[in-house]
Amino acid sequence: MEQKQGRIFYLDFIRVLAIFLVIFIHVSAIDTTLHIGSTQWHITKLLNYFAHISVPLFFMISGTLLLNSKKTTSLAYTWKNRIPHVVIPFVAWSILSTLFIALYSHSFSLPAVLKMYAVFLYQPVSPTLWFMYPLIGLYVLSPILRTFVENASQKMLWYVVGIWIITNSLMPSLSYLLPKDISHALDFYPAATFYLMGGFVGYFLLGYLISTIDISKIKAWFLIIVLLLFTYLGNGFANHYPKSMDMWNQYYVTSISIVIMAICGYILLQKWGMATKSTGVKKAFSFLSPLVFGIYLVHNIFILYIEPWFMSSLPYGGLLATFTRYLAVALGSLLVIWILYLIPGVNYVLTGKKWRRNKK
């Protein structure tokens, strides 16, 4: 989620769209458990599954920025500038989230709050904040990864990504198709130590690699067809094997369909972003982009407080109710973070950004 001073518009474009997809995942999550089998449920599930490309998009944006920057090899710069930029707001909102959760559940007590903080390094205080743990890990590892990509050939980098896709995406996805008694036939014995290529590092490298290739020859219609096809197939797979989309599953959002969707989606949005000429559109996305991190960190609180009221008070239901709640959470989160972003000192602690007046 890092932003260069010399703005790259297509990254702003992808970043802003990705955060609104993230919010949709979390707002619509409850709807995926209601009216199962109905038309409304099928549409919501499909949209929710499509929105899961948002997390890979964020990892790919960070890979594009950090692995293309010469500053990334500086341990001092990484630890003084980049890591505090994500850790300080994350810790601040984790503290605030804990307080809001305790107040909401009417179970506020010092021992209970301290117990949540005692395992802070092990698990997030709110499930929606899980993304921060692998992101911070990749920031910590970014000097190593930058040194690697700087000295490796394109062939070597694609080889590494290929290993990641096979071991962390394709094989775990295929394992769900196996009979129960041999369900672990495609799992690696821990001593095989494929940990170097584990987690989300593949998305990080993919973001960098895509930034080095000529995407002009890749047809948008082809990307759209593949994106929609694997959204449909992947959603069907997830409906049949729901454990594959369990967010505590270590292969969450790295299933083969989401990997393919994320690659297509990233390239497609990059093409559209690079083709955008409208000054108004560029100003709008450039305005929203610095707020994205803060919106991500605060939106879970809005869901916690707003969603129950809407679900009990709206005179209508279905997809219209889902999108009403979605707009309320998205706009509320945006408004709060925009206000905080304008307050000196507070802005860095709670948004990770410092507001700067544009110089003419």
Q: Where are the alpha helices (DSSP H) in 152-241?
A: 154-165, 171-175, 201-211, 220-240
**CA-based nearest residue to 62, from 156, 236, 202:** 202
How many CB atoms sit inside 10 A of residue 88's CB?
14
Is 3 a member of any domain? no
Is 356 a member of any domain? no
Is 284 a member of any domain? yes
- Compute the average pLDDT of residues 323-343: 96
Cβ atoms 239, 37 nearer than 8 A: no
pLDDT band at 307 (very low <50, low <70, confident <90, very high): confident
Is 4 a member of any domain? no
For residues 115 and 218, give the distance between their C-alpha atoms in angstroms, rounded to a whole number.
51
- Compute the average pLDDT of residues 140-157: 96
pLDDT recorded at residue 195: 64
Is 358 a member of any domain? no
- Structural domain range at position 292: 9-351
Is 359 a member of any domain? no
For 249-266, how does the pLDDT look when each residue is reduced to its tens digit (9 = 90+)? 667 789 999 999 999 999
- Lowest average pLDDT, out of 14-23, 54-63, 93-102, 130-139, goes to 93-102
Is 92 a member of any domain? yes
Domain count, the chain: 1
Is 2 a member of any domain? no
Query: Which pTM value belongs to this model?
Result: 0.92
In this predicted structure, the answer to whether residue 225 has a pLDDT above a threshold of 90 is yes
For 70-118, how does the pLDDT look when each residue is reduced to its tens digit (9 = 90+)? 999 999 999 999 999 999 999 999 999 888 888 887 666 777 777 777 7
Cβ atoms 10, 273 nearer than 8 A: yes
How many CB atoms sit inside 10 A of residue 341's CB?
19
